[in-house]
Structure 1
Amino acid sequence: MSTDTLHIVCPHCHTTNRVAAAQLGSAPDCGKCHRPLFTGHPASLDEAAFEKHVLRSDVPVLVDFWAPWCGPCRMMAPAFEQAAAQLEPHMRVVKVNTEEAQALAGRLQIRSIPTLALFASGREVARQPGAMGAADIVRWARAHAPR
Protein backbone atom coordinates (compact mmCIF):
# COMPACT_ATOMS: atom_id res chain seq x y z
CA MET A 1 0.00 0.00 0.00
CA SER A 2 1.20 3.48 -0.83
CA THR A 3 1.80 5.88 2.08
CA ASP A 4 -0.50 8.26 0.20
CA THR A 5 -3.46 5.92 0.89
CA LEU A 6 -4.87 5.04 4.30
CA HIS A 7 -7.21 2.25 5.35
CA ILE A 8 -10.06 3.72 7.38
CA VAL A 9 -12.76 1.51 8.92
CA CYS A 10 -16.28 2.97 8.78
CA PRO A 11 -17.74 3.57 12.27
CA HIS A 12 -21.22 2.72 10.95
CA CYS A 13 -20.94 -0.42 8.77
CA HIS A 14 -17.32 -1.37 9.69
CA THR A 15 -16.23 -1.66 6.05
CA THR A 16 -12.56 -0.90 5.39
CA ASN A 17 -12.17 2.04 2.99
CA ARG A 18 -9.10 3.33 1.18
CA VAL A 19 -8.75 7.08 1.53
CA ALA A 20 -6.10 9.34 0.06
CA ALA A 21 -4.13 10.80 2.97
CA ALA A 22 -4.57 14.27 1.48
CA GLN A 23 -8.37 13.79 1.61
CA LEU A 24 -8.52 12.75 5.26
CA GLY A 25 -9.56 16.22 6.43
CA SER A 26 -12.13 16.64 3.64
CA ALA A 27 -14.93 14.66 5.34
CA PRO A 28 -14.60 11.42 3.33
CA ASP A 29 -17.62 9.11 3.13
CA CYS A 30 -17.78 5.32 3.28
CA GLY A 31 -17.84 3.66 -0.12
CA LYS A 32 -20.41 1.12 1.09
CA CYS A 33 -22.91 2.93 3.35
CA HIS A 34 -22.08 6.50 2.15
CA ARG A 35 -22.07 7.85 5.70
CA PRO A 36 -19.19 10.00 7.03
CA LEU A 37 -16.04 8.10 8.00
CA PHE A 38 -15.47 10.62 10.79
CA THR A 39 -18.26 12.25 12.78
CA GLY A 40 -16.33 14.01 15.55
CA HIS A 41 -18.12 11.72 18.05
CA PRO A 42 -16.91 8.48 19.64
CA ALA A 43 -18.17 5.33 17.92
CA SER A 44 -19.53 2.57 20.17
CA LEU A 45 -17.95 -0.75 19.28
CA ASP A 46 -18.62 -4.35 20.19
CA GLU A 47 -15.78 -6.88 20.34
CA ALA A 48 -15.88 -7.81 16.63
CA ALA A 49 -15.97 -4.18 15.49
CA PHE A 50 -13.17 -3.31 17.93
CA GLU A 51 -10.95 -6.00 16.40
CA LYS A 52 -11.66 -4.75 12.88
CA HIS A 53 -10.91 -1.10 13.73
CA VAL A 54 -7.72 -1.88 15.64
CA LEU A 55 -6.34 -4.38 13.14
CA ARG A 56 -7.30 -2.67 9.86
CA SER A 57 -7.19 1.06 10.51
CA ASP A 58 -4.13 3.06 9.47
CA VAL A 59 -4.93 5.84 11.95
CA PRO A 60 -4.43 5.32 15.69
CA VAL A 61 -7.51 4.13 17.61
CA LEU A 62 -8.23 5.74 21.00
CA VAL A 63 -10.50 3.56 23.14
CA ASP A 64 -12.47 4.47 26.26
CA PHE A 65 -13.21 1.26 28.17
CA TRP A 66 -16.23 2.06 30.33
CA ALA A 67 -19.44 0.66 31.87
CA PRO A 68 -22.87 2.27 32.34
CA TRP A 69 -22.86 1.75 36.14
CA CYS A 70 -19.49 3.51 36.56
CA GLY A 71 -19.84 7.04 37.96
CA PRO A 72 -16.38 8.28 36.85
CA CYS A 73 -17.09 6.83 33.37
CA ARG A 74 -20.31 8.84 33.11
CA MET A 75 -18.52 11.94 34.38
CA MET A 76 -15.77 11.57 31.76
CA ALA A 77 -18.18 10.90 28.85
CA PRO A 78 -18.71 14.59 27.89
CA ALA A 79 -14.93 15.21 27.99
CA PHE A 80 -14.32 12.17 25.78
CA GLU A 81 -16.96 13.49 23.37
CA GLN A 82 -15.16 16.87 23.24
CA ALA A 83 -11.81 15.15 22.71
CA ALA A 84 -13.22 13.17 19.77
CA ALA A 85 -14.14 16.41 18.02
CA GLN A 86 -10.51 17.57 18.35
CA LEU A 87 -8.74 14.30 17.54
CA GLU A 88 -10.66 13.05 14.51
CA PRO A 89 -9.89 12.50 11.60
CA HIS A 90 -6.24 11.85 12.52
CA MET A 91 -7.31 9.36 15.16
CA ARG A 92 -10.36 7.06 15.45
CA VAL A 93 -12.11 7.66 18.80
CA VAL A 94 -14.26 4.82 20.17
CA LYS A 95 -15.97 3.52 23.30
CA VAL A 96 -16.18 -0.10 24.41
CA ASN A 97 -18.72 -1.06 27.07
CA THR A 98 -16.89 -3.59 29.25
CA GLU A 99 -20.21 -5.04 30.47
CA GLU A 100 -21.08 -6.02 26.90
CA ALA A 101 -17.53 -6.97 25.88
CA GLN A 102 -16.37 -8.82 28.99
CA ALA A 103 -14.19 -11.29 27.08
CA LEU A 104 -12.35 -8.44 25.34
CA ALA A 105 -11.87 -6.54 28.62
CA GLY A 106 -10.51 -9.71 30.21
CA ARG A 107 -8.17 -10.50 27.33
CA LEU A 108 -6.80 -6.93 27.40
CA GLN A 109 -6.56 -7.03 31.21
CA ILE A 110 -8.70 -3.94 31.76
CA ARG A 111 -8.54 -3.81 35.56
CA SER A 112 -10.32 -0.53 36.25
CA ILE A 113 -12.63 1.80 34.39
CA PRO A 114 -12.56 4.23 32.85
CA THR A 115 -9.37 3.23 31.09
CA LEU A 116 -8.07 4.87 27.92
CA ALA A 117 -5.97 2.76 25.57
CA LEU A 118 -4.31 3.85 22.35
CA PHE A 119 -3.77 1.32 19.57
CA ALA A 120 -1.65 1.73 16.44
CA SER A 121 -0.76 -0.82 13.77
CA GLY A 122 -2.79 -3.49 15.57
CA ARG A 123 -1.12 -3.20 18.96
CA GLU A 124 -1.60 -1.26 22.18
CA VAL A 125 0.93 1.58 22.48
CA ALA A 126 -0.29 3.36 25.64
CA ARG A 127 -2.79 2.99 28.48
CA GLN A 128 -4.11 5.41 31.09
CA PRO A 129 -6.58 4.43 33.84
CA GLY A 130 -8.84 7.01 35.48
CA ALA A 131 -11.09 9.85 34.42
CA MET A 132 -9.57 12.83 32.62
CA GLY A 133 -10.78 16.14 31.24
CA ALA A 134 -11.00 16.84 27.50
CA ALA A 135 -7.74 18.82 27.28
CA ASP A 136 -5.86 16.09 29.17
CA ILE A 137 -7.32 13.36 26.94
CA VAL A 138 -6.27 15.23 23.79
CA ARG A 139 -2.80 15.99 25.17
CA TRP A 140 -2.28 12.37 26.32
CA ALA A 141 -3.51 10.86 23.04
CA ARG A 142 -1.37 13.14 20.88
CA ALA A 143 1.71 12.59 23.05
CA HIS A 144 1.44 8.79 22.68
CA ALA A 145 0.31 8.56 19.03
CA PRO A 146 2.98 7.29 16.65
CA ARG A 147 4.34 10.00 14.39
Structure 2
Amino acid sequence: MSDHLVVCTHCGGVNRLPEQRPALDGKCGKCGHRLFEGHPADVSAELFDKQVSRSSVPVLVDVWAPWCGPCRAMAPAYEQAARELEPNVRLIKLNSDNEQQVAGRLGIQGIPTMILFDNGRERARTSGAMPAGEIVRWVRQHLPA
Protein backbone atom coordinates (compact mmCIF):
# COMPACT_ATOMS: atom_id res chain seq x y z
CA MET A 1 0.00 0.00 0.00
CA SER A 2 1.24 3.48 -0.82
CA ASP A 3 0.04 6.95 0.01
CA HIS A 4 -1.64 9.22 -2.54
CA LEU A 5 -0.20 12.64 -3.31
CA VAL A 6 -2.94 15.17 -3.98
CA VAL A 7 -2.27 18.77 -4.98
CA CYS A 8 -4.67 21.36 -3.56
CA THR A 9 -6.39 23.39 -6.29
CA HIS A 10 -6.58 26.42 -3.97
CA CYS A 11 -3.01 26.85 -2.70
CA GLY A 12 -0.93 24.26 -4.58
CA GLY A 13 0.03 22.44 -1.39
CA VAL A 14 1.00 18.80 -1.91
CA ASN A 15 -0.87 16.55 0.51
CA ARG A 16 -0.13 12.95 1.41
CA LEU A 17 -3.27 10.87 1.96
CA PRO A 18 -3.13 7.29 3.22
CA GLU A 19 -4.41 4.86 0.59
CA GLN A 20 -7.00 3.36 2.95
CA ARG A 21 -8.50 6.76 3.86
CA PRO A 22 -11.26 7.97 1.54
CA ALA A 23 -9.80 10.94 -0.30
CA LEU A 24 -13.19 12.68 -0.62
CA ASP A 25 -13.01 13.84 2.99
CA GLY A 26 -9.37 14.98 2.78
CA LYS A 27 -8.47 18.56 3.60
CA CYS A 28 -5.37 20.48 2.60
CA GLY A 29 -2.82 20.63 5.38
CA LYS A 30 -1.67 24.05 4.15
CA CYS A 31 -4.92 26.01 3.60
CA GLY A 32 -7.67 23.78 5.03
CA HIS A 33 -9.83 23.59 1.88
CA ARG A 34 -11.32 20.26 0.85
CA LEU A 35 -9.06 18.47 -1.61
CA PHE A 36 -11.97 17.24 -3.73
CA GLU A 37 -15.04 19.44 -4.07
CA GLY A 38 -16.94 17.70 -6.86
CA HIS A 39 -16.26 20.38 -9.45
CA PRO A 40 -13.29 21.20 -11.69
CA ALA A 41 -11.13 24.12 -10.62
CA ASP A 42 -9.84 26.74 -13.06
CA VAL A 43 -6.08 26.69 -12.65
CA SER A 44 -3.13 28.88 -13.55
CA ALA A 45 -0.12 27.66 -15.53
CA GLU A 46 1.83 27.16 -12.30
CA LEU A 47 -0.94 25.15 -10.65
CA PHE A 48 -1.49 23.12 -13.84
CA ASP A 49 2.18 22.13 -13.91
CA LYS A 50 2.10 21.21 -10.23
CA GLN A 51 -1.09 19.14 -10.61
CA VAL A 52 0.38 17.13 -13.48
CA SER A 53 3.90 16.70 -12.10
CA ARG A 54 3.26 16.13 -8.38
CA SER A 55 -0.11 14.38 -8.10
CA SER A 56 -0.26 10.59 -7.94
CA VAL A 57 -3.95 10.86 -8.87
CA PRO A 58 -4.61 11.01 -12.64
CA VAL A 59 -5.43 14.52 -13.87
CA LEU A 60 -7.93 15.39 -16.60
CA VAL A 61 -7.58 18.92 -17.96
CA ASP A 62 -10.18 20.67 -20.09
CA VAL A 63 -8.49 23.33 -22.22
CA TRP A 64 -11.17 25.90 -23.00
CA ALA A 65 -11.87 29.62 -23.58
CA PRO A 66 -14.75 31.84 -22.44
CA TRP A 67 -15.70 32.83 -26.02
CA CYS A 68 -15.92 29.19 -27.20
CA GLY A 69 -19.55 28.04 -27.57
CA PRO A 70 -18.82 24.28 -27.45
CA CYS A 71 -16.62 24.86 -24.37
CA ARG A 72 -19.43 26.64 -22.55
CA ALA A 73 -21.91 23.97 -23.67
CA MET A 74 -19.67 21.19 -22.29
CA ALA A 75 -19.03 22.91 -18.93
CA PRO A 76 -22.05 21.37 -17.11
CA ALA A 77 -21.14 17.89 -18.42
CA TYR A 78 -17.54 18.34 -17.28
CA GLU A 79 -18.83 19.41 -13.87
CA GLN A 80 -21.05 16.30 -13.70
CA ALA A 81 -18.12 14.08 -14.73
CA ALA A 82 -16.07 15.57 -11.87
CA ARG A 83 -18.71 14.48 -9.36
CA GLU A 84 -18.53 10.95 -10.75
CA LEU A 85 -14.75 10.60 -11.24
CA GLU A 86 -13.37 12.30 -8.11
CA PRO A 87 -11.44 11.30 -5.99
CA ASN A 88 -9.98 8.75 -8.44
CA VAL A 89 -9.28 11.44 -11.05
CA ARG A 90 -8.64 15.18 -10.55
CA LEU A 91 -10.55 17.35 -13.04
CA ILE A 92 -9.22 20.84 -13.78
CA LYS A 93 -9.83 23.54 -16.37
CA LEU A 94 -7.20 25.61 -18.17
CA ASN A 95 -8.29 28.84 -19.88
CA SER A 96 -6.31 28.91 -23.14
CA ASP A 97 -6.75 32.70 -23.43
CA ASN A 98 -5.14 33.32 -20.02
CA GLU A 99 -2.55 30.55 -20.30
CA GLN A 100 -1.45 30.75 -23.93
CA GLN A 101 2.08 29.50 -23.24
CA VAL A 102 0.82 26.30 -21.63
CA ALA A 103 -1.74 25.77 -24.40
CA GLY A 104 1.06 26.20 -26.94
CA ARG A 105 3.34 23.83 -25.07
CA LEU A 106 0.53 21.26 -25.03
CA GLY A 107 0.05 21.65 -28.79
CA ILE A 108 -3.59 22.68 -28.51
CA GLN A 109 -5.04 23.21 -31.98
CA GLY A 110 -8.74 23.34 -31.17
CA ILE A 111 -10.93 23.69 -28.11
CA PRO A 112 -12.40 22.19 -26.12
CA THR A 113 -9.58 19.67 -25.78
CA MET A 114 -9.34 17.25 -22.88
CA ILE A 115 -6.00 15.71 -21.96
CA LEU A 116 -5.63 12.89 -19.46
CA PHE A 117 -2.36 12.77 -17.52
CA ASP A 118 -1.23 9.88 -15.33
CA ASN A 119 2.04 9.95 -13.36
CA GLY A 120 3.10 13.13 -15.17
CA ARG A 121 2.65 11.70 -18.67
CA GLU A 122 -0.02 12.34 -21.24
CA ARG A 123 -2.11 9.20 -21.55
CA ALA A 124 -4.82 10.34 -23.99
CA ARG A 125 -6.38 13.41 -25.58
CA THR A 126 -9.58 14.22 -27.39
CA SER A 127 -11.09 17.34 -28.89
CA GLY A 128 -14.72 18.37 -29.10
CA ALA A 129 -17.56 18.64 -26.62
CA MET A 130 -18.88 15.46 -24.99
CA PRO A 131 -21.76 14.64 -22.65
CA ALA A 132 -20.86 13.63 -19.08
CA GLY A 133 -21.31 9.89 -19.57
CA GLU A 134 -19.02 9.92 -22.58
CA ILE A 135 -16.35 11.88 -20.68
CA VAL A 136 -16.48 9.34 -17.84
CA ARG A 137 -16.29 6.36 -20.24
CA TRP A 138 -13.43 7.94 -22.19
CA VAL A 139 -11.40 8.54 -19.00
CA ARG A 140 -12.03 5.05 -17.63
CA GLN A 141 -11.05 3.34 -20.86
CA HIS A 142 -7.66 5.09 -20.79
CA LEU A 143 -6.76 4.34 -17.18
CA PRO A 144 -5.50 1.01 -15.82
CA ALA A 145 -8.14 -0.91 -13.91
What TM-score does the superposition give when structure 2 sets the normalisation length?
A: 0.97
**What is the distance in 2 between the residues matched to 1:83 and 1:53?**
18
1:11 is displaced (CA, Å) by 1.1
Which residue of 1 is the match for residue 105 of structure 2?
107
Number of residue-to-residue matches in the alignment: 145
Unaligned runs of 5+ in 2: none
Contact 1:9/1:15 (<8 A) preserved: yes
Match of 1:46 in 2: 44
TM superposition shift of 1:26: 4.7
- The residue correspondences of 1:1-147 to structure 2 (distance < 5 A) are 3-147=1-145
Using the TM superposition, give the Cα deviation of residue 12 of structure 1 relative to its aligned residue in structure 2, in angstroms: 1.0
Q: Distance in 1 between matches of 2:105 and 2:33?
A: 32
Paired residue secondary structure (1:140):
helix
Cα distance in 2, alignment partners of residues 35 and 103 from structure 1: 28
Identity %: 53
The 2-side partners of 1:91 and 1:73 are apart by 20
Q: What is the CA-CA distance between 1:4 and the residue it aligns to?
A: 2.2
Letter in 1 for 2:138: W
1:126, distance to aligned residue in structure 2 (A): 0.2
Displacement of 1:21 after TM fit? 1.2
Please identify runs of 4+ aligned residues in structure 1 that moved more than 2 A. Answer: none
The separation in 1 between residues aligned to 2:36 and 2:24, in whole angstroms, is 10
What SS is found at the alignment partner of 2:20?
helix
Q: Structure 2 vs 1, CA of residues 22 and 109 (structure 1 numbering), >3 Å: closer, same or farther?
A: same
The 8 Å contact of residues 120 and 146 in structure 1, kept in 2 or not, is answered as no
CA deviation digits over 1:22-67, x for unaligned, max 9? 1134511111111100001001111110000000000100000000
CA RMSD of aligned residues (A): 1.0
**Aligned residues of 1:47 and 1:104 also touching (Cα < 8 A):** yes
Post-superposition offset of 1:121: 0.8
